Chains A and B, each alone.
Chain A
Amino acid sequence: MAVKDNNDIADQPCRRCKNNPSVLVVRTEPLCRECFVRYVNTKIIKRMESFRVRHAAPGQQRKILLPLSFGVSSLVLLHVLDFQLKTQSEKSGRTGFSLCVVYIDASTVDSSAPDAAMLQHVQERYPHDYATVPLQTLFELLPLDDPLLISLCAPDLPSTATSSDRISSLLSSLTSSTARADVLPMLRTRLLVEEAKQRGCEGILWGDSTTKLAEKTLSETAKGRGYSLPWHIADGESPLGIPFHYPNRDVLKKELVAYIDLADPPLSSLVHGPSAASTTTSMSSKTTTIDELMKNYFESVEENFPSIVANVVRTAGKLQVKETRRTAAQCNLCNMPVTDGRFGIHGWGGDQEDGLQSAGPSSGLCYGCSRTIPNGLR
């Protein structure tokens, strides 16, 4: 990965401590292992400013939910926050927050999902609250009148159908891998939000790196959800009624990958699946998704143009939702606020079929979700 990829610079000693030999080049700076670890730690902890000890009322523990996927980003986040909590307790005898680590087990619909037993190892290393929640639990947690729940009650499913049946039926009804890759994370997010609320957490700490946020920017644009971009990458209140935080937002994906091996002890044994080098999927493959396309794209841009990656996120962050529009009706699937009732794929300049009303407003799906589920939720 990023380790020693530029020989000219990398042969120099670490530019920060000027002492140790450098082990990798970070945005043109050769750094040693210690300085690199400190660099990543600082970038992440800086983003946790509002959770410092001094902001916590004594005797009242602030809880935040950390979704763990066993991927590089969420593991590094857990590792760094664990370090931050230890430092807080050493310095002040208490901590500014506590973590609820939640793993969403999607094994009923995703055969490549990590084994829930992996949690054991993580738990041993980082003592916090842990929970494994099966993805289908979503259908038990949602309020009965939730539009998603109502629309997901497929008429052809018997009333005795379990929540696993329901989720399998939903995902198998999606005709493309792009659609499946689109819907699965939305369900996961939705479930995490419900979990956070149930567990009394005041926010969710997502592991998204700069690179991931840039990917999201372009892939949501490509999926026709440009209208909702401000909600996808901003820290703070989300349309789902709970604040989202992205502490890894200033760290590149390749830096998180490098961190896995350079942390002491390394985190590699805890990572699930293809950790390091990007899984370069064939572009022509029918199973390629829009999300993968953007992932590959930004992994290549990140190599030589890290600042451009960061600039994409910064640019998208400048888009703003008007105050008056924040109360707009939400999409039943992705929950993003849709202004002016612009649901469905019809009724705009690019729609050439005048007066056609199929999966229009009644479906309650936004433009992007209508592309993913062309026939509307059942």
Chain B
Amino acid sequence: MPPKAPTLCAICKTNRALILRPKDHSKLCKPCFITVFETEIHHTITSNSLFHRGEKIAIGASGGKDSTVLASVLKTLNERYDYGLELVLLSIDEGIKGYRDDSLETVKRNAKQYDMPLTILGYEELYGWTMDQVVEQVGKKGNCTYCGVFRRQALDRGAARLGVRHVVTGHNADDVAETVLMNLLRGDLPRLSRSTSIVTSTPAAASGDLKSHTNIKRSKPLKYAYEKEIVLYAHHKNLDYFSTECIYSPEAFRGSARALIKNLERVRPSAILDVVRSGEDMAKLVPGNDDDRSCGGACSSNVPAAEEEEGGCGSANGRTAGGEMAHMERHLAQNEAAAENELEVEITIPKPKKAGNKKPKANGMAPQKPNKQQVLGQCKICGYISSQEVCKACVLLEGLNKSQPKNRIEVVYDEKENQVLDGATNGMAKAALGPG
């Protein structure tokens, strides 16, 4: 701070303002910033009725700033406002040396600091593959797809193991805004509409046989919190977090959207929140979504289904597959060329359905069936919720296991096959063990 006339905190009007609040550029003192940040998360939690008394909540903890702040704030709020929650930490070990092994050490310290039990579940244990091994196999391009798909299931399976029905993740406003722009860029409206929702769930499968890992609720209490404020909060509370980005981070749609969000924030600080608002409003305009979601998708009767491959990288630094834009460009260009030559009718613009027009509206709380086009069932291999016959994780695993070069099977690989078998006993990857 330059030694000018000291500016006083805009809230308490007593202390010297030391923090320029990223969200609205108001000048605050440290205690007031901490309080206002926590109060806003509390507001998000209560106004969306995210939790109920006695609920056991697993915090998806990566050791990064977002989940560390989430754990810290939830602990604080749980005590301050007597939510009556049982908080536990759930970490997924993707098996990335030099990144995850270090960040897991952070999570272990957090568990002690916050006095929360910690469970670590590894990709290796679940799928028979660590991310390092996946990358060795598929290369750096596209590996984030594997990681994202595996992580979503991993969190659900981990939660089920702990007997937890609700997992909270550290997704912040920047992540949500980034996802809105990213899905506009890649033309994915269903996902755009799901990603803006504060609560999603892996719905119970249509069949009566409910596997324990279905129907796990997901929510994002930091949905409206700016990344910069999360960093500030972590800094001023001296939180112990791990700040290295994932080492496998190729640029693509997400990277592109992320850069845009950062630039937008520079031009107009409210822009991140404004994109989130736009995303919520646009979700109501997606064909097939009933438009009575004035609650922004937060009402319990209004929970959009999370799709198996939703989410991409859980960390804010995640990027989706490299070369993705080029790949999509080629695909779209081929469609255009075909349409131009009148080889096919334009199917890219399906005739809009006038769905749900005459439905009576029960004061804006009508239960809705998002994404009617998709029928969710169960993966025939692992039983995980899936809109396809075989879930995305099993498809990816099958590919991985097939393309594993035979001539290189050595002791190490024998070991891995055993692990695959372990995975199979978990209900995973049985078919993936087929010849090849």
Contacts and interface: CB of A to CB of B under 8 A. Distances in A.
Interface of A: 27-28, 176, 178, 217-218, 220-227, 229-230, 283-284, 288-290, 293, 297, 301, 304-308, 310-312, 314-325, 339-340, 342, 348-350, 352, 354, 367-368, 371
B336 A310 contact: yes
Contacts of B282: 221, 226-227, 229, 319
B333 A224 contact: no
Contacts of B263: 283, 293
B106 interface: no
Contacts of B296: 348-349
B260 interface: yes
Contacts of A289: 267
B266 interface: yes
A224 B274 contact: yes
A229 to B, nearest CB: 6
A307 B259 CA distance: 21
Given A225-B278, A227-B281, A297-B260, A349 B298 contact: yes
Contacts of B291: 322, 325, 339
Interface in B306-364: 325-326, 328-329, 332-333, 335-336, 348-350, 352, 354, 357, 364
A204 B258 CA distance: 36
25 contacts: A28-B333, A217-B184, A224-B275, A224-B278, A226-B180, A226-B277, A226-B281, A226-B282, A227-B281, A229-B282, A307-B329, A307-B333, A308-B325, A312-B184, A312-B187, A315-B189, A318-B349, A319-B286, A320-B352, A321-B285, A323-B354, A324-B357, A340-B364, A349-B47, A367-B274
A322 B287 CA distance: 9
A202 B273 CA distance: 39
Given A290-B267, A305-B328, A315-B188, 17 more contacts: A217-B184, A226-B282, A288-B267, A290-B271, A293-B260, A306-B329, A308-B328, A312-B184, A318-B189, A323-B354, A323-B357, A348-B277, A348-B280, A348-B296, A352-B40, A371-B268, A371-B274
Contacts of A349: 44, 47-48, 198, 223-224, 280, 295-296, 298
Interface string B18-35: 000000000000000000
A314 B350 CA distance: 11
Contact of B276 (A176, A323, A339, A350): A350
Interface residues of B, number: 61
Given A308-B328, A315-B184, A318-B352, A178 B285 contact: no
Contact of A314 (B187, B198, B224, B281): B187
Contacts of A178: 267-268
Contacts of A325: 291
A223 B264 CA distance: 10
B110 to A, nearest CB: 26
B336 to A, nearest CB: 6
